[in-house]
Structure 1
């Protein structure tokens, strides 16, 4: 109950949190730019083969659904539409970064992510059935990081790779009275960010886009799953990385 209450508070104030963190990023960036030509912080940081750190992330995600042939049968003629909606969540994790060349790294960021997905079933008699799916996922993004040349205390980069995930909570309903999803997922990821160098650490704000490539529809045979053929995840994540 404590965790649920904490998550509910985060969800209610998600816009304020994102705004505050965005201001923080702007402040960090402005400070880094101000010192670009004054001094070079951590000048030998990029010579290290292996570096570590931690991350905090805010994400917004949605299911992309594809109707099945059963959706147009008389059995489901009262179902007007099935509409997923965007929801917010957060992630916590670690960073392991290995330098291959001056401009190319391999990065592993094992993390725990908290999701709350929502799917709305609308009926022709104007009834609405809201399905809510909460999950705690252990994710293992494996990424290549391509970096630009460092200019002062700023360096831009792009990342891309795959993100396998498995559910950690292990709490599933098999009563057939709710929309069910699988306990694993696989996504393709791409994004960009900035490395900002400070005297004692490196801070990296990063925006990443994730596209699920496997069908996460768990039970296609219950009343909520039959009108659907496929469900994929789409996620946009804002990362705050400290190394």
Structure 2
């Protein structure tokens, strides 16, 4: 999926750059002048987990993570700091599901070997967006920032752990994201597709009540890692 997203951005950039070299009429010529503007975004994500193991388990990885495609939706508040630098707040909801397979357990008992972790979380990123100068009706950019995520599906306070079938994660987490994109100035609005990678800073796992749990004892760090495709309308 990441390769498809990158190809999509490159094709958009190449097409609009070619057209932009011929087209002299600027769409929305004053769009970037106001100090503040707003918008919204829709998108898709494919999120998994980065799993690191305790030293005694490093040579024998225990967990296979199978991500699925989810969705993103949210709002955009954009503050112009400079002609080529903007500070953005992009609160939104994101949802996806990961399947964890504990490979060291017998295949005959799927109830013990597999955990499906559904997540719906409030994503609150603060992002710096650095853009090139506008080339007629296009403007490439890079972005990066840090986010607070509130996981509504975490089960953090559930006393039942994996021995009762519940894989638990923390409710509050910190991530950072990096991305590239392109602003396309259309007749009535600005359309901005972007590709972003998201990476957890905090450890999200809640360990089982038993210190020798076969599900959580091998894991030293478990954190979200994924790719977003955002389509912004401003």
Name the TM-score, length of structure 2 as normaliser: 0.83
**How far apart, in 2, do the equivalents of 1:211 and 1:32 lie?**
31
Q: Which residue in 2 is equivalent to 1:175?
A: 160
TM superposition shift of 1:227:
2.2
User: How large is the RMSD of aligned CA atoms in angstroms?
Assistant: 2.9
Distance 1:90 1:45, change over 3 A: same
2-structure distance, mates of 1:80, 1:124: 12
Contact persistence 2:174–2:202 (CA under 8 A)? yes
CA contact (8 A) 1:157 1:193 kept: yes
Taking a change above 3 Å as real, the CA distance of residues 80 and 137 of structure 1, as seen in their structure-2 partners, is closer
Per the alignment, do residues 28 and 186 of structure 1 end up closer, same or farther by CA in structure 2, a change over 3 Å counting?
same
Aligned to 2:191: 203
1:242 aligns with 2:228: no
- Residues 158 and 201 from structure 1, CA distance in 2 versus in 1: closer, same or farther, beyond 3 angstroms? same
Partner of 1:98: 79
| Structure 2 unmatched runs, 5+ | none
Could you say what secondary structure the match of 1:34 adopts? Answer: helix
- Return the match for 2:33 from 31, 47, 53: 47
Q: Is 2:230 the counterpart of 1:230?
A: no
- Higher helix proportion, which one? 1
User: Quick check: 1:137–1:165 contact (8 Å CA) kept in 2?
Assistant: yes
Offset of residue 59 of structure 1 = 0.8
Q: How does 1:34-113 map to 2 (within 5 A)?
A: 34=19, 37-68=23-54, 71=57, 81-113=62-94
8 Å CA contact 2:125, 2:147 repeated in 1: yes
1:60 is displaced (CA, Å) by 1.0
Contact 2:87 2:127 in 1 (8 A): yes
Aligned pairs (5 A) from 1:145-156:
145-156=129-140
Cα displacement (A) at 1:31: 6.3
Q: Which residue does 1:144 correspond to in 2? A: 128
- What per-residue deviation string (whole Å, max 9, x for no partner) do you get for residues 184-242 of structure 1? 21111111100000111000000111110100001244432222221011111111000
Change (3 A) 1:164 1:151: same
Q: CA deviation at 1:132?
A: 0.7
Count of residue pairs the alignment pairs up? 220
Verify the 8 A CA contact 1:80 1:124 in the aligned structure 2. Answer: no
Q: How does 1:16-35 map to 2 (within 5 A)?
A: 30=15, 33-34=18-19
Q: How far apart, in 2, do the equivalents of 1:23 and 1:68 lie?
A: 39
